[in-house]
Each structure stands twice: as structure tokens, then as C-alpha cells.
Amino acid sequence: MPWTNQGGNGGGPWGSGGNNDQNPWGGPPGRGPGNSGGPSGPSFEDMIRRGQDRMRQLIPGGIGGKRAIILGVLALVAIWMATGLFRVQPGEQGVIMTFGAFTRTVGSGLHYHLPGPIQSVEIVNTEQDRLLDIGFIRGNSPSGGAATAVVQRDVPQESLMLTGDENIIDIDFTVRWRISNAENYLFRLRNQEDTVRAVAESVMREIIGQSDLQSALTRSRAEIEQDVRDGIRRILGDYESGISVTSVQLLNVSPPPQVIDAFNDVIRAQADRETQVNQGRRYFAEVREQSRGEAARMLQDAEAYQERVINEAEGQAQRFLYVLSSYSQNPSVTSQRMYVETLQDVLSNANVVMIDSGNGGGTGGDVVQYLPLNELLPRHGATAPANGNQ
């Protein structure tokens, strides 16, 4: 029977139904709960005794009985099976492994796998952007908050690189990446972040090693960032790493601190040289344009002179032919006309002085003749008469 009478006279479930001297709690009268006849409720020993009695009733064979063992084993099995429940949050993937080998990948939601050590699950966030700093260590804000972009300590073994012309340059940059394939990310690479760091540093050194110092300093940052990003993607794709590089950002490109002053002097000298070269080019352009203008003007003058000479020669030839025709028709008249025109041309440009060879013009005495030769001489720049003074 599930209930036994501990008092021997029959009774209720606690074995005291036939004993009028005891209450249902197994104690003396007036000690039960709700009985105001006693000074207080059941004692601590009574409560322990009651719990033992109920345990004997549930498990007649005692704690070490067969029924207790079966119930304990079933409870342990239920708890063990319940450990296979797991939840995957949005933006994450769950990779289920059987004895450490890949089995399947599950998305967000509530899932179940065989409890360990048979199967286990690895939760991977595939939408989180991970930031990797190369060449420096990013420090925390003074208030102890999130990391800031202020460089706290430089890492020379990562930032110092050799250019193609054997100069040293200091480069600090960051790589932003995320997980694109959870299976490849967990099983293709051992140390994922260290692999990304090594690949990014190697690609950056390759690109800088193919450029000289001046080109590396003055080259477009966007061009360098794109080349490095493409190189990292290509190598990680060959590795089947399950990692996608979203961007590469250059934070500092400069000479090492030990030679920064000398390098600034070189930069200023190069800037002065460029200024002088630009001034020379501007002067050359001005002189060239001026020379081209003068050459064009001289060419136009020559062409105009050519046209004028040709026209004059043609006019003279036509005049000569006209005169020849007139002379052939009437030689005497033409000769007289030519003689008169020739004298007109000659005497129109001559200085003529006329002197009266008679007496002194009715003055009643001799007159001294005065000839001002100095005034009769041609002035500077004047054309001398063809037949001299007359």
C-alpha cells in the first residue's frame, strides 16, 4: 500500500489516524498547525521527520532502491538531452559539429543538436564588422569608453616599410572585415585575425615596395587603399578563408620621426624648385606667344610689301606699255612731253636761287652781292637736288 499506519490502529496518510493523543503531524496534542491550544507550530525536527516519512512512502525501498535509481537516471538523461537546445540570434550562424567534424550550418532561431560530447555548436556573428589596426595600437578614451582613433603607441615592426628606391616610410592603416562563410572561417584557418593581419601587412609592403618614396607620399590615398583591399581579397579568396574585407583606410603616411625634419627640408626645396620651374615655364610661354605674334606681324608686312611691289611693278609696266604705244603713234609729241615731265620732277625738288646780274636796282650805287651758302645747303635729312643749286 502506498500509505502505512505507523501507529498500528489504522489512520490517515501520516499514520496517526487512530491515535487520539497525537495530531496529524506526529507530535503531541496542541502542536499542529492551526491548533491554538499549543504554544507554537511544529518544530524543525518534526518537519524533517515528516519529510522522511513522505520519502519512505514514495520510495518504499529507500534512497538506494531500484526505483530511485531509475528515476534518477531518467532525470539525468532528460537534463542531458535538454542541453542540446540552443538559440541563434539574427545576424548569426550556428555551426553544428559531430565529434569536432562539420555537420551543418543553421540560421537564426531555436535549434537542437545532439548533446555533448556527441555534437557541439559554434555561434558565429556574420554581420559584425571587425576592425584590425596595423602599425599602431589604438588607445582608449580618457574616460575609459570605447576605442578612439588616437594613436597611443606606434608599432615600428609593422608600420616601417621599405620603398622601391630604398627609403623607409611609416604607414599606419586599418582593415575592416567580416565573416562571409562560417564553415570556412572555422575550419580553413587556425588563427583568423593573425592571418588577416599578416596578409594585409604583406600586401601593403608589396605595393609600397613597387613605388618610390615621393610616389608613395604623394600618391592618391584612395588608389593605395583600393589596391591593398583588392590584394587582400585575392589572397584570402585563394585560402577559402570565409572572410570578406570591406575596406582599407590609411591613417598616416609619413617618413620616420627620426628623419622628419630633413624630409621637410627636402619637401620645401622641391616646392621651391617647382615654383621656379613654373615661373620659367610661364615666362617661356609669354616670350613664345610674343615671338609668335611678332613673326605673324612680320609675315603680314612682308606679304603686304610683296603685294605693293608687285602692284607697282605691274603699274609701271602698264605705264611703259602705254607710253610706248603713244610714242609709236607720235614720237615728237611724246618726247616733248617726257622732257617736260622730267624737268618738272627735277625742278620741283631743287633749291633755285635767282640773282640779277644788273646794277643795284636803281639805288644809285653799287650793291654788294651776298650769297648765303650755309642756308642754301640742304638740311640734315633733306634730299639734295638732282642738278645742284642754280
What is the rounded distance in angstroms from the CA atom of residue 30 to the CA atom of residue 37? 5
For 2, 205, 247, 332, the CA distances from 131, given in Å and listed in that order, are 68, 20, 10, 118
pLDDT bin (cut points 50, 70, 90) of residue 282 is very high
Instruction: Measure the CA angle with vertex 204, ends 187 and 168; round to 5°.
Output: 140
Catalogue the long-range contacts made by 3-12 (C-beta closer than 8 Å, 24 or more residues apart). Answer: 3/57, 4/57, 6/53
Proportion of the chain above pLDDT 70, given as a percent: 72
Which pLDDT value is given to residue 259? 76
Residue 223 contacts residue 191 (beta carbons within 8 Å): no
Candidate ranges 52-61, 202-211, 216-225; pick with highest mean pLDDT? 202-211
| Other beta carbons less than 10 A from residue 305's beta carbon | 10
User: pLDDT tens for residues 32-89?
Assistant: 444 444 445 567 788 777 776 776 666 555 555 677 778 778 888 888 888 888 888 8
Q: So what's the pLDDT on residue 371?
A: 64
Closest CA to 170 of 209, 218, 135: 135
Report the pLDDT value the prediction gives residue 306, as an integer from 0 to 100.
Answer: 93
- Calpha distance 227→217 (Å, rounded): 15
Contacts of 85 (CB under 8 A, 6+ apart): 110, 111, 112
Residue 245: strand pairing partners: 177
Residue 79, helix vs strand vs coil: helix
* DSSP code string of 284-307: HHHHHHHHHHHHHHHHHHHHHHHH
Q: How far, rounded to the nearest angstrom, does the alpha carbon of residue 260 sit from its chain's CA centroid?
A: 24
Quick check: 22 pLDDT over 50?
Answer: no
pTM exceeds 0.85, yes or no: no
> Would you kindly state where each structural domain of the chain is located, as residue ranges?
1-82, 85-125, 131-255, 340-355+366-390
Query: In terms of DSSP bridges, do strands 130-134 and 119-125 run parallel, antiparallel, or are they unpaired?
Result: unpaired
- Residue 146 clears pLDDT 80, i.e. is over it: no
Give the CA diameter of the chain. Answer: 211
The answer to whether residue 315 scores a pLDDT higher than 80 is: yes
Place of cell 559539429: 97
pLDDT band at residue 93 using 50, 70 and 90 as cut-offs: confident
Q: In the predicted model, what is the mean pLDDT of the chain?
A: 77
Task: Check if the beta carbon of residue 228 is closer than 8 Å to that of residue 207.
Answer: yes
Mean pLDDT confidence for 323-351 = 82
Could you tell me if 242 and 188 are in contact, meaning their C-beta atoms sit under 8 angstroms apart? yes
What is the pLDDT at residue 31? 45
| Cβ-proximal residues to 254 (8 Å cutoff; 6+ apart), any chain | 169, 170, 217, 260
Q: How far apart are the first and last CA of the chain?
A: 182
Using CB atoms within 10 A of its CB, is residue 188 exposed (0-12), middle (13-18) or buried (19+)?
middle
Q: Is the dihedral of CA 274, 277, 279, 281 positive or negative?
A: negative
- Residue 130: other Cβ atoms inside 10 A: 15
Q: Which CATH number fits domain 131-255: 3.30.479.30, 3.40.640.10, 1.10.3720.10, 1.10.1740.10?
A: 3.30.479.30
Least confident of 13-22, 82-91, 179-188, 214-223: 13-22
